[in-house]
């Protein structure tokens, strides 16, 4: 009897979503699938850790994508998916190669771009030196009024709070009198995490001496002046740090919304395109965050594992928001169920870990693997359930 060929899975993108799906498929489907990862870079790092770099923390570790693939019986192609031919179930790469698939997962993410020209837009490591220069100016007494701005349309404001809190801690350690202000369109500080977490954070910000101006949409920044939509000056600062806006690289051949993001169902299937899935920042789900991308990817992995003939039941994406808020000396763990009507009772903020491993990235398959690499113990890769309190 002829053994059936394994289900060919092509994953486009080597970020959190792509790697979470790759490791999940290895665990859930095993020999039922033959996985190939296509990515334009050959390394991966936890981008969310880059907020620490301006404060003399080392840059986030870079992990080899070919090694991650080899550890999970997957192939790696250093390229990028450019075009999808739905009728023939093939993709064309940027280099012009044609790759067949039985199931395709698009995890190309989104890329940050400058929000306001006259401000420091913190996009990650590429802006760490500019942010470090600001910290040096604060230490030297040259900058005493700093504003941190969350631009309109940014759905993940947490890094602005991290940068402000770490700046406040640095100033306090040197007994410097610095006025720090956060300007955000949110109704409450990190209100997306619910009432309990937001109240807890407001207290932390007050203790750190950070002012917060909520419910405010910024039109522009003009040489330190933060301007409202009507042109009024909200804050007159010496330096302004803003978060970036996001754009997504469009994959030709797939339907997308007006902003280029892919619309998917509860199992991650691109609407109207059987066999093609998407997860992560490149989808139209409004929250762009690593833990959310991992949960989307896990739903996709289960759907593909089921499609491949494995004994796995699909489970819909039901997001639970988890974040490790970096403040400098002590992290704070935040949690909120944002689907299913859990309400304020699910909102949590704790100094103790709410998941394991207690890393910046809450991803049940990828995070334990990265933790093993960091510890160098060679332990087998197994999914670890997130500890939801």
CATH label of the domain that carries residue 32: 3.50.50.60
From 299, 319, 339, give the residue that closes a domain.
319
pLDDT(56) > 70 = yes
pLDDT at position 355: 92
The pTM score is: 0.94
Same domain, 239 and 261: no
- How distant, in Å, are the alpha carbons of 48, 84, 127, 171, 257 from that of 103? 29, 12, 37, 52, 22
| Residue 363 domain-assigned (yes or no) | no
Q: 384 pLDDT exceeds 90?
A: no
Q: Which two tokens stand for residue 20?
A: 């979470």
Q: State yes or no: pLDDT of 341 exceeds 50.
A: no
Classified as helix, coil or strand, 47 is: helix
Please state which of the ranges 3-12, 94-103, 176-185, 227-236 shows the lowest mean pLDDT: 3-12
Would you give the DSSP letter of residue 5? Answer: P
Instruction: Supply the DSSP symbol for 210.
Output: E
Is the distance from CB of 252 to CB of 131 less than 8 angstroms? Answer: no
CA angle 43, 49, 80 (to 5 degrees): 30
27 and 83 in a common domain: yes
CB of 52 within 8 A of CB of 62? no
Query: How many domains does the chain contain in total?
Result: 2
Residue 85 lies in a domain: yes
Question: Where among 290, 319, 348 does a domain terminate?
Answer: 319
Cβ(17)–Cβ(293) below 8 Å: yes
In a domain, 256, yes or no: yes
* Location of structure tokens 């909520």: 214
Q: How confident is the model at residue 380 (pLDDT cuts 50, 70, 90)?
A: very low
Which bin fits 147, alpha (ψ -120 to 50), beta or left (φ > 0)? beta
> Percentage of the chain with pLDDT > 90?
89
- Flag whether 27 is in a domain: yes
Flag whether 367 is in a domain: no
235 in Cβ contact with 226 (< 8 Å): yes
Per-residue pLDDT tens digits for 144-198: 999 999 999 998 999 999 999 999 999 999 999 999 999 999 999 999 999 999 9
> Do residues 210 and 259 share a domain?
no
End-to-end CA distance of the chain: 50
How confident is the model at residue 376, as a pLDDT? 86
For residue 106, give both structure tokens: 């698009």
Same domain, 162 and 90: no
**Same domain? 117 vs 229:** yes
Question: Where would I find the H helices in 267-376?
Answer: 290-307, 366-375
Measure the CA–CA gap between 269 and 278, rounded to whole angstroms: 6
Give 5's pLDDT tier (boundaries 50, 70, 90).
confident
**Residues 177, 297 within the same domain:** no
Residues 102 and 123 in one domain: no
Asked if 65 and 139 count as a contact pair (C-beta separation under 8 A), the reply is: no
Residue 51 belongs to a domain: yes
In sequence order, what are the beta bridge partners of 63?
A: 44
Q: Are residues 78 and 133 in the same domain?
A: no
Identify whether residues 180 and 303 lie together within a single domain. no
Looking at the fold, whether 84 and 124 belong to one and the same domain comes out as no
**Contact in structure between 76 and 66 (CB atoms under 8 Å):** yes
What is the C-alpha to C-alpha distance for residues 126 and 146, in angstroms, rounded to an integer? 20
- Tell me which residue range forms the domain holding 214: 113-244
Position 345 confidence tier, pLDDT thresholds 50, 70, 90: low
> What number of residues does the chain have?
389
Q: Answer yes or no: do 70 and 154 share one domain.
A: no
Tell me which of 304, 319, 334 is where a domain ends: 319
Plot region of 338 (φ>0 → left; ψ -120 to 50 → alpha; else → beta) = alpha
In a domain, 365, yes or no: no
Residue-level pLDDT at 333: 96
Angstrom distance (rounded) from CA 36 to CA 252: 20
Is 161 a member of any domain? yes
Alpha-carbon dihedral sign for residues 186, 190, 193, 194: negative
| Same-domain status, 119 and 237 | yes
CA triplet 127, 332, 389: central angle to 5 degrees?
Answer: 130
pLDDT at 329: 86
**Residue from 282, 275, 316, 319 nearest 299 by CA:** 316
How many Å apart are CA 162 and CA 388, to the nearest integer?
A: 23
How far apart are alpha carbons 213 and 243 in whole angstroms? 16
């Amino acid at each position: 009897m002829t053994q059936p060929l394994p289900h060919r899975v092509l994953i486009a993108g080597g970020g959190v979503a792509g790697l979470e799906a790759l490791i999940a498929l290895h665990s859930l489907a095993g020999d039922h699938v033959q996985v190939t990862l296509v990515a334009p870079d050959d390394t991966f790092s936890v981008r969310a850790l880059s907020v620490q770099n301006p404060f003399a923390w080392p840059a986030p570790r870079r992990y080899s994508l070919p090694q991650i693939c080899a550890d999970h019986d997957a192939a790696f192609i250093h390229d990028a998916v450019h075009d999808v031919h739905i009728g023939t179930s093939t993709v064309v790469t940027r280099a012009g190669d044609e790759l067949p698939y039985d199931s395709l997962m698009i995890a190309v993410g989104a890329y940050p771009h400058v929000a306001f020209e006259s401000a420091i837009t913190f996009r990650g490591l590429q802006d760490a030196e500019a942010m470090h220069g600001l910290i040096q100016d604060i230490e030297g007494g040259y900058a005493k009024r700093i504003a941190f701005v969350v631009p309109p349309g940014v759905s993940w404001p947490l890094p602005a709070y991290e940068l402000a809190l770490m700046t406040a801690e640095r100033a306090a350690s040197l007994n410097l009198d610095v006025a720090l202000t956060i300007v955000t369109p949110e109704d409450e500080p990190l209100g997306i995490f619910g009432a309990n977490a937001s109240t807890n954070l407001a207290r932390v910000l007050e203790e750190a001496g950070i002012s917060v101006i909520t419910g405010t949409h910024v039109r522009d920044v003009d040489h330190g002046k933060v301007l409202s939509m009507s042109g009024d000056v909200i804050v007159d600062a010496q330096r302004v740090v803003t978060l970036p806006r996001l754009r997504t690289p469009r994959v030709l051949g797939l339907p997308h919304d007006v902003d280029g993001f892919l619309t998917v169902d509860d199992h991650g299937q691109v609407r109207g395109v059987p066999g093609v899935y998407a997860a992560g920042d490149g989808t139209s789900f409004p929250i762009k965050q690593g833990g959310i991308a991992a949960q989307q990817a896990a739903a996709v992995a289960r759907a593909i594992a089921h499609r491949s003939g494995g004994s796995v039941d699909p489970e819909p994406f039901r997001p639970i928001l988890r974040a490790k808020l970096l403040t400098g000396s002590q992290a704070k763990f935040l949690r909120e169920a944002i689907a299913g009507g859990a309400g304020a009772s699910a909102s949590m903020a704790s100094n103790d870990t709410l998941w394991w491993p207690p890393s910046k990235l809450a991803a049940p398959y990828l995070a334990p693997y990265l933790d093993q690499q960091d510890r160098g113990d060679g332990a087998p890769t197994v999914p670890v359930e997130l500890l939801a309190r």
